[in-house]
Amino acid sequence: MENYVPMHECRVHKISIIVNRTHAILHSIAILFLIHYRLSFFFQHPPNITIPTLPWLLIFVSELLLCLAWLLTQFYRWRPVYRTVFPERLPADDKLPAIDVFICTADPNKEPSVEVMNTVISAMALDYPPEKLHVYVSDDAGSDATLRCTKEAWNFARYWVPFCRKYGLVTACPDVYFSSSEDGFKGSSEFKAERKKMEEKYEILKQRIRRIVQENHTDVPVNNKLNHSSIIEVINEYHKEKDEVKIPILVYVSREKRPSHHHNFKAGALNVLLRVSAMISNSPYILVLDCDMHCNDPTSARQAMCYHCDPQTSQSIAFVQFPQTFRNISEDDIYDSQLRFVFKIQWHGFDGAGGPTISGTNFYIKREALLGSFSKQQDLMALKRSFGPSNDFIKTLVEDYKPCFIKDGESSRMLLEHANVLASCSYEDQTTWGTKVGFLYFCVLEDYFTGFTLHRKGWKSVYLYPKRPQFLGISTTNFNETSIQWTRWVSGLTSVTISRFCPLICGPLKMSLVHLMCYLEVACMPLLCCLSVWGFALIPQLCLFNGIPLYPKISDSNFIVFSIIFISAISKSLYEVVSFGDQFKVWKNEWRIWMVKSVTCYTYGSLDAILNKLGIKEASFLPTNKVTDDEQVKLYEMGIFDFRAATMFLAPLVVVILVNFAAFVGAVFKALVVDDNGDRYWEKMFGQMFLSFYILVSNYVIIEGMIIRKDKASIPLSATLWSVVFSVFILLIGSAILC
């Protein structure tokens, strides 16, 4: 180790640590004063108690839940770290380990084939030795159209990959490259001529893909996406052109699916790819990509290998996680589709605590971390009990096993036959796939649970956030799809929270306290937020409607405590937005969408998990619709909410607005007209009036969608009328119960 040269470095942002820890201490002191104020109510002499106990208790519980949510977020802010890598220090290409790329697609109707194939092509163009790169496309729908499109993508890649390498293109995705101003060798006539030819080939590719998809819509499908046999095809037609540049092997995989077998969503597809790829390439490292997340920088593999190949970290690092970034984010990101807080703040702190969890896509993971390490002396029957009956797959688990894939040979045919067995829906029966090995099946959010389990076993992970986005995807740009996506995520997280796998139960003694609390925050945050926000959205308003004060008077010294907590929370979140170079409107949008998600997605997702736990409802997985609608995109780019969503997502928003509006207007009317001493009423009820006013102003877009807007994307009258009924019911029944 005397000549050891590090391939990476990690630095701690000291200013952020000082600001974060100072704020945490001061804010905590204010919270303790708040708790003292609330508790002192219960120790008053009974004749002095003029406020009903139930609403006081409920708002106190809401405050405690929100304070707990805030406290958990401080563990991310305790020690954020930032990393730099040095790919130029990697060993020579012939010493680099092989990589398998897994690309998952589930529904050709919701995931445009042109986008999917761009992801495939960009993965094949990674800056990595082609003989050590293998790309696998998992088609969970078993669509003939996807198979045909994959073959078209491979034919185009035969020309695209050499073109990228010859001119050193930094944009490996053809769709992005031809729609941008990047042109590399501006003064080279040869380059311009080749670029024009390549663009023509790409236009032909798009036309062919669209024609295939259109034909697939009109033809009667041979296979149903929930009932079809396994299909595995290695797309590597051998062409003997002179001086042809090698390109990676491309493999199409569609696992067998039957209605009688649970397919375990994305985790099930990834485990099939683990087994099939072991037979064909058995690379020690795996890159997992969503079908719409193309490789924006071809150097990502080399950057990840700076950790996986470093002798000081290679034995302990399970995976290297890159952020999710999106190329269709508007300047005014009204739905917070970029997930700014997660990838710019949260994951840096997660990394400083012990490593982030898996984020679903954009991570290079070690195969050994998922399957374990075995030797030839391992008990064969024990391995079969864990990994299934295939002797051929068991061979791949031995450290020195190297697959022998021969093009167009008898060995290849036999190998693919064995691989088809591994992709059958019954292969995992009576094994530990999904429970102890591979990607885990406990919930629909396989990434969180698998990452948590790896960290419990002692593995580590790192988070790389380079200046140039390594991967670019397509995010949801309408309210309905955003809500569906978040509801699915929340359902998976809450199912972990209310299970025996809750980090608080099975994490202690196996992880550091800070790392454990980071995992707990991710799992518990939706449930804590939905319960607390519903409390703040209704309880003070019902009491305001009935003239019952829940907050101290303005003249009371305790009012300062509530003011400090509110201003402190607002100021800190605004500071974090501005310090990362974002604008004030980003903060405004994030604050609003947090309230919106809390009463919709967080609520429904948590409820879905609870019903699933009780056995009332089965877990479901709805793929996000990635098909773009020009009208919806236009509204999103203009910063206008598109309320063409399910009533179940609209009704809670409208109900909250109506209840707050009724309470605020009623209080103003009482203060100005009814009450003889208006100043005293304002002083007594100011806290609740301000809260209602703040909620109304922050969510003005909902009021606009209900009353002002008359376009197709406004809130439907039917949803508003149903919400009026619910609001009246809440005001009447809630007032009777609480007051």
Structure tokens at 663: 């309470």
- 287 close to 101: Cβ distance less than 8 angstroms: yes
Does the annotation mark 310 as catalytic?
Answer: no
Among 328, 293, 265, 326, smallest CA distance to 623 is for 265
Does the annotation mark 140 as catalytic?
Answer: yes
List the binding residues for Mn(2+). Answer: 266, 290
- Chain-centroid distance of CA 343 in Å reads 10
Alpha helix positions (H), 179-264:
189-218
List the binding residues for UDP-alpha-D-glucose. Answer: 110-111, 140
Structure tokens at 81: 């770290």
* Other C-beta atoms lying within 10 Å of the C-beta of residue 710: 6
- 247 close to 161: Cβ distance less than 8 angstroms: yes
Alpha helix positions (H), 42-143:
53-73, 113-124
In three-state secondary structure terms, 455 is: helix
Say if strands 471-473 and 231-235 run parallel, antiparallel, or are unpaired.
unpaired
Q: Which residue of the set 139, 447, 608, 642 is catalytic?
A: 447
Among 361, 629, 580, smallest CA distance to 473 is for 361
Q: What is the CA radius of gyration of the chain?
A: 28
Q: How much helix, strand and coil, in percent to the nearest 5, is found in the chain?
A: 55, 10, 35
Question: How many angstroms separate the Cα of 73 from the Cα of each of 110, 376, 388, 503, 515?
Answer: 34, 46, 42, 15, 12
Packed helices 144-167 and 189-218: angle between N→C axes, nearest 10 degrees: 170
Q: What is the DSSP letter of 130?
A: G
Q: Which residue of the set 140, 144, 351, 608 is catalytic?
A: 140
Structure tokens at 397: 């688990």
The HSE-up count of residue 513 (CA atoms within 13 Å, CB side) is: 2
- 77 close to 110: Cβ distance less than 8 angstroms: no
Question: How many angstroms separate the Cα of 713 from the Cα of each of 601, 631, 702, 717, 724?
Answer: 20, 10, 12, 12, 20
List the binding residues. Answer: 110-111, 140, 266, 290
Among 301, 340, 339, 338, smallest CA distance to 320 is for 301
Report d(CA 355, CA 320) in Å as an integer: 9
Q: Which residues are catalytic?
A: 140, 447
